[in-house]
Amino acid sequence: MTDNYAINNYKKVQVNTLDSLKLIVILYERAIENLNYAMGFIQTGNIEERNKHCLFVSRIITELKVSLDFDKGQDIAKNLSRLYNYINRKIGEANIKNNSEPLKEIIVILSELKEAWIDCAKKENNSMNYQQSQSEDQTKQISFTG
């Protein structure tokens, strides 16, 4: 019974980790989508909608920044924090100057980050599948010997 409890808790951690990675990818996708909308509104001269979408992306980036774990992430978290600051500055520049060039640059950066997080999620998923299979094998061994 204790073994099943430990396995169930381990599986919950797996789900939470994968859900966090998926959420990060979704946030990048939403940011990219809204940057594309903002660029369209720059072209059509719709200042209100451009501003709305730029601010939305800025909030996403800020949320990603405040969720960084500097204890676990160390240098990666520091670098992401700096990059998120840069992205928010570029969003402000694009919004104030009504210029889509900074948004294009941000889309490239966010697309690369999104792909990196997708790779991370795949590796995490493979690792968890391997660890889960080992746990199940150990449980089978315990139940046969017990």
Domains: count for the chain: 1
The two tokens of residue 10 are: 């381990």
Domain coverage including residue 60: 2-145
Q: Measure CA of the first residue to CA of the last residue in the chain; give whole Å.
A: 12
Please check whether residue 100 is in contact with residue 43, taking contact to mean a CB–CB distance below 8 angstroms: yes
Span 113-145, pLDDT tens digits: 999 999 988 887 776 554 444 444 444 444 434
Query: What's the CATH code of the domain at 135?
Result: 1.20.120.340
Span 1-28, pLDDT tens digits: 455 554 454 444 444 555 888 999 999 9
pTM for this one?
0.75
Provide φ and ψ at 69, rounded to 5°: -105, 100
Specify burial of residue 128 (Cβ count, 10 A radius: 0-12, 13-18, 19+): middle
84-87: Cβ within 8 A, 24+ apart: 87/61
pLDDT of residue 144: 39
What percent of the chain clears pLDDT 70, i.e. is strictly above it?
Answer: 73
Average confidence (pLDDT) over 90-97:
97
